[in-house]
Amino acid sequence: MKKLLCELEHCSTDEQRQKIEDMNELMEEMGEEEFKSVFTKEWFNEMDKMIEEKILSWENAILLLKHVGYCQTLKCFFDFAFKDSFLSNRFQEMIIEEKMMIEEKDEKLLVDLCECYLLLNGWPSSEMDSIIVPCLLKVALKKEENEESQKEVEMALLALSNFRSYNMRKELYINEIKEIIEYHQEHHNLTRIAYQSAWKFFLNRSHFDHSLEHVIVNEVHFEREAIRELEELAKWMNWKKKEEEMSKKEEKEVLIIGRWLHALGIFFRLFRLWKEEFAELIGSVAHVCRAARENNKEISNWCICSLRNATENGNVRVEDLLKGRAIDVVLEEIHRQTLNKNIEYHSLDFFFSISRRAKEKEKDKMKEEKRKEAKRKVLEKMEEEGYEDTITSFHELFGFFSAQFYYQLSLNIFDYFVYV
């Protein structure tokens, strides 16, 4: 890839475009480690130099950079190489200059610049927020269902999904993102990536604005939509295929499932409202975990992480975890000989959290009876699998690590773990 970039210097504009298309195909096959080893700060600085010396046209540079950002964002590769480069500064200056133009403003160029910048750097300054967000939401609000328009909307929403700065004024986005989600719920005009990206952008905003919780749960019904999307995606996936045997369309579907699971991790970790659909939502995650277990460990691992997050948050009840068969799935995972240290940690933390939650007494008599019943069912489930003593033996260990260096637990737990 680095060699191909150097070769662009000696090509005509049309030849550059063909080579860039070849480069775009190559990067789609890259894993995270290879991707980060290629697209370094030095690589982006070299791109900046080629643009400065007019060796590479802006049109071709955007074609290449937008695809770098597209692959990075779709696959959830988090990197700061672009953010620390000279090219990032150039993009900021050009976006501000283009926005300030009153006459002869190139709207398409401004959109391209905003998409590239946000796909490659999800942490813009507050000054950039007020330019980038309205610009891309305007594109995302397009209602046309032709292929070209859908691609434009998808790219704008995918870029917004990478927006990880949280101190943003609600009035910059709230009405627009609600309209995009609600319109899709009625007309189904968005691609799967676009719809998931709209949700991810919305959920990310809730980190520092908890007033959004009511809107997300009670007005646009995230849990209902997540259930439907996960079940629909899982239904069409051929999980028996090995990863290398999947078509590009199937690979993309797997990536979208992974992005939904990542969004669920945010949802379970932050939200405090409870709804009856939570048991069904847990069940959908458990179903995907079982389906992906043999041939896509990354997806099944994300499922376990999402379920672990659910146990730590009071918005999911222990009986929801029982009804959704989350406990069965995590017990099955512990039995597997291929269990890695990270999943050992998440699995044991799952049971530790359930045990803690089951002990929390309720003042309301009816709720207290439900708590006792749920606790009894959990213990019976663990006794059936022979795990009650094993999990109990970790209580002191978890307490120690929670107080001292909780996040290093996965590094130590392998020495203590017992396969029963």
Most confidently modeled range among 137-141, 270-274, 308-312, 341-345: 137-141
d(CA 55, CA 266): 43
> How do residues 331-380 score in pLDDT, each as one tens digit?
888 777 566 677 777 887 888 788 777 777 777 778 788 778 887 887 77
Calculate what percentage of the chain has a pLDDT beyond 70: 87
pTM of the model: 0.87
386 vs 37, which has greater pLDDT? 37
Place of tokens 């997540």: 226
> How do residues 218-235 score in pLDDT, each as one tens digit?
999 999 999 999 998 888
Rama region for 364: left / alpha / beta (φ>0; ψ in -120 to 50; rest): beta
d(CA 144, CA 344): 47
Q: How confident is the model at residue 419 (pLDDT cuts 50, 70, 90)?
A: very low
Q: Does position 265 have pLDDT exceeding 70, yes or no?
A: yes
Q: What is the mean pLDDT of the chain?
A: 84
Contact 48, 90 (CB under 8 A): yes
d(CA 398, CA 400): 5
Give the pLDDT of residue 139: 97
Most confidently modeled range among 40-44, 363-367, 393-397: 40-44
Give the pLDDT of residue 355: 76
Q: How confident is the model at residue 396 (pLDDT cuts 50, 70, 90)?
A: very low
- DSSP state, 240? T
d(CA 95, CA 140): 19
φ, ψ at 76 (rounded to 5°): 60, 45
Number of Cβ within a 10 Å radius of residue 398? 20
Give the pLDDT of residue 368: 80
Q: For the ranges 53-67, 167-181, 353-367, which has the lowest average pLDDT?
A: 353-367
